[in-house]
């Protein structure tokens, strides 16, 4: 898949090192030292021999038509290349376990603004560092290890918990919510949108959280208390990384009593679904991502304008947050309390980690 090929395989075709170097930026894409992907059917005479490795037609077409350069594709494309780099790293040792941000990428957990970095590996007795890999002396319990495409990696639940130390509690919270959502509802977001959430889903959350995160938390050498605090607050109702970050911010501010994915109805007709709602005060929050406007354009904007006007007429106070406004809790707090100062009286004990 994805026409991944190693340096020694290219050399085995009779290609000189200069041929391989000249193909970079043409028909070869370098994933890591000695690891490449064939991305085009090249007519250059010195590159034609690489076509034999181009068996993934869809991957070729994706590059040959320029899809990888489209702005809407850029983030996902770079994430995919990073995942390929981790999967095809050629020098894993016996006993290596991919963990931390690298494990999150293998599991396709949502991360934000995590730059490309050496592959993160845990090993029970060895530590080392190269430009491509960082190996840390960390013991991982056998029950916290699974395989992704033949690579030993920490389980989804363990990976999400480990992100607290690697990237901070906000990233861990978002990953934990995603893992819980997959566990309770599944991966098919389109089907979830069509059928809605199972009835009484929130009543099943405590048992699901205990079963999913309880065992790996109990095996943690340190940080158990903070991990349990996060686990006590996660839900499967956040539909994006942005919504999870907004929920995390609300908990940091001591605003724990909100409802997620609340359907506002006018008779039998559903007007809209609110991302977060404070029922007592009627304050509704929307977390706006940019991709839906890229995909839907003015039609989406017009629909949301009508929905907001209808909500206002029904007595709701609506606050919309852009993605960059939720990444900093101080920015989020200022906007929230400037537009809904009545929420201050509902603040309880803030989340302390």
210 shares its domain with 256 = no
pTM: 0.90
Q: How many domains does the chain have?
A: 3
113 and 226, same domain (yes or no): yes
- 208 and 319 both lie in a single domain: no
Tell me the sheet residues that pair with 260: 276
- The reply to whether 267 falls in a domain is yes
- The string of DSSP letters for 289-343 reads -SHHHHHHHHHHHHHHHHHHHHHHHTT-EEEEEEHHHHSSHHHHHHHHHHH-GGG
Mutual angle of helices 169-184 and 205-218, in 10-degree steps: 130
Task: State residue 265 phi and psi, 5-degree precision.
Answer: -115, 150
Please report, in tens digits, the pLDDT of each residue of the chain (353 residues total). Answer: 899 999 999 999 999 999 999 999 899 999 999 999 999 998 888 898 999 999 999 999 999 999 999 998 998 999 999 999 999 999 999 999 999 999 999 999 999 888 889 999 999 999 999 999 999 999 999 999 999 999 999 999 999 999 999 999 999 999 999 999 999 999 988 888 888 898 899 999 999 999 999 999 999 989 999 999 999 999 999 999 999 999 999 999 999 999 999 998 887 788 888 999 999 999 999 998 544 434 444 455 556 677 777 888 888 999 999 999 999 999 999 999 999 999 999 999 888 87
Q: Give the up-direction half-sphere exposure of residue 24: CA atoms within 13 A in the CB hemisphere.
A: 12
Last residue of a domain, one of 178, 208, 231: 231
Strand order in the sheet with 35-38: 4-6, 35-38, 28-32
Same domain, 221 and 97: yes
- Which pLDDT score is estimated for 301? 53
Q: Do 255 and 200 sit in the same domain of this protein?
A: no
Q: Which domain holds residue 123?
A: 84-231
**In the listed set 205, 231, 257, which residue is the last one of a domain according to the structure?**
231
Predicted pLDDT at 289: 53
Assess if residue 75 is contained within a domain. no
Give the C-alpha separation, 273 to 233, whole Å: 21
Of 337, 318, 177, 175, the C-alpha closest to 253 is 337
Based on the fold, state whether residues 266 and 217 are members of the same structural domain.
no
Distances (CA, A) of 83 to 32, 116, 118, 282: 11, 10, 12, 43
End-to-end CA distance of the chain: 42
Residue 307 sits in a domain whose CATH number is 3.40.960.10
Upper half-sphere CA count for residue 295 (Cβ side, 13 Å): 5
Q: Per the domain annotation, does 352 fall within a domain?
A: no
Query: How many Å apart are CA 283 and CA 152, to the nearest integer?
Result: 46
Q: Which of 17, 39, 69 is the last residue of a domain?
A: 69
Q: Is the dihedral of CA 231, 188, 109, 159 positive or negative?
A: positive
d(CA 331, CA 329): 5
> Do both 264 and 222 map to the same domain?
no
Do 104 and 192 lie in one domain? The reply is yes
Sign of the dihedral defined by the CA atoms of residues 105, 111, 116, 118, in that order: negative
Based on the domain organization, do 88 and 128 belong to the same domain? yes
In a domain, 353, yes or no: no
Asked whether residue 76 is domain-assigned, the answer is no
Query: Which residues neighbour 253 within 8 Å (Cβ) at sequence distance 6 or greater?
Result: 329, 333, 336, 347, 350
Q: How many CA atoms lie within 13 A of 76 on its CB side?
A: 7
Distance CA 130, CA 64 (A): 33
Is residue 183 located within the same domain as residue 61?
no
22 and 58 share one domain: yes
- The span from the CA of 295 to the CA of 151, in Å, is 35
Cα(94)–Cα(85) distance, rounded to whole angstroms? 19
Residue 78 belongs to a domain: no
In a domain, 351, yes or no: no
Together in a domain, 188 and 320 = no
Instruction: Measure Cα distances from 189 to 193, 195, 196, 215, 256 in Å.
Output: 6, 10, 10, 28, 26
292 domain residue, yes or no: yes
């Amino acid at each position: 898949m994805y026409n991944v090929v190693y340096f020694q395989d290219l050399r085995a075709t009779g290609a000189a090192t200069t041929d391989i170097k000249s193909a970079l930026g043409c028909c070869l894409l370098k994933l890591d030292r000695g690891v490449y992907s064939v991305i085009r059917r090249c007519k250059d005479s010195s590159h034609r021999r690489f076509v034999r490795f181009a068996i993934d037609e869809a991957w070729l077409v994706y590059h040959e038509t320029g899809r990888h350069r489209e702005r809407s594709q850029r983030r996902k494309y770079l994430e995919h290349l990073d995942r390929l780099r981790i999967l095809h790293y050629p020098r894993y040792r016996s006993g290596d376990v991919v963990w931390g941000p690298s494990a999150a990428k293998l599991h396709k957990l949502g991360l934000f603004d995590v730059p490309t970095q050496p592959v993160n590996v845990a090993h029970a007795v060895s530590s080392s560092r190269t430009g491509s890999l960082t190996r840390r002396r960390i013991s991982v319990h056998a029950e916290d290890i699974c395989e992704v495409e033949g690579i030993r990696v920490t389980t989804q639940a363990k990976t999400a918990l480990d992100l607290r130390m690697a990237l901070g509690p906000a990233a861990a919270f978002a990953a934990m919510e995603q893992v819980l959502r997959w566990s309770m509802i599944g991966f098919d977001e389109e089907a979830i949108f069509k059928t809605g959430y199972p009835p009484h889903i929130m009543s099943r959350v405590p048992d699901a959280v205990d079963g999913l995160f309880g065992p790996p938390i109990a095996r943690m050498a340190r940080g158990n208390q903070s991990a349990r605090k996060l686990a006590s607050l996660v839900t499967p109702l956040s539909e994006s990384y942005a919504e999870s970050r907004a929920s995390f911010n609300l908990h940091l501010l001591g605003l724990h009593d909100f409802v997620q994915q609340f359907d506002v109805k006018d008779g039998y007709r559903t007007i809209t679904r609110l991302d977060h709602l404070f029922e007592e005060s009627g304050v509704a929050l929307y977390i706006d991502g940019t991709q839906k406007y890229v995909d839907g354009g003015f039609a989406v904007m017009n629909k949301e304008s009508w929905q907001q006007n209808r909500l206002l007429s029904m007595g709701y106070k609506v606050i919309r947050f852009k993605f960059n406004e939720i990444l900093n809790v101080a920015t989020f707090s200022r906007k929230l309390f400037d537009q809904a100062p009545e929420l201050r009286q509902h603040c309880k004990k803030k989340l302390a980690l």
